[in-house]
Amino acid sequence: MYAAPAAAAPEFTVDENPVGGNEVTADAMVFLFTAFTDVDGTPDAGTFTQEGQVRYTTFTLNGVDLTAGLNTEYKLFGNFTATGSSTSVADGSITEAEGLYDTFEFTLYYDRTPTDTPLDLDPSDSVVDPFRYEVDGDTETVLTASLVLGSQTIQVIPNEIITFVIDLEIALTPFGEQYFIDPVPFYQLQLNSGIAVNAITDDGFDVFDGTVASGDFSVISQGTGATTFARVPEPATLALLGFGLAGIGIGGWRRRKAA
Q: What integer is the mean pLDDT of 61-78?
A: 91
Provide the pLDDT for residue 47: 84
The pLDDT tens digits of the residues spanning 195-207 come to 776 666 665 555 5
pTM of the predicted structure, to 2 decimals: 0.80
Q: What integer is the mean pLDDT of 35-52?
A: 77
Q: What are phi and psi of 174, to 5 degrees?
A: -55, -40
Question: How confident is residue 255, by pLDDT bands cut at 50, 70 and 90?
Answer: very low
Burial 194-220 (b: 16+ CB within 10 A, else e): bebbbbbbbeebebbeeebeeeebbbb
Q: What is the rounded CA–CA span in Å between residue 36 and residue 16?
A: 30
Cα distances from 30 to residues 5, 8, 55, 56, 90, in angstroms, run 10, 15, 9, 6, 33
- Report which of residues 41 and 7 the model is more confident about: 41
Domain boundary assignment for the chain? 24-256
The pLDDT tens digits of the residues spanning 81-112 come to 888 887 766 666 655 666 778 888 999 999 88
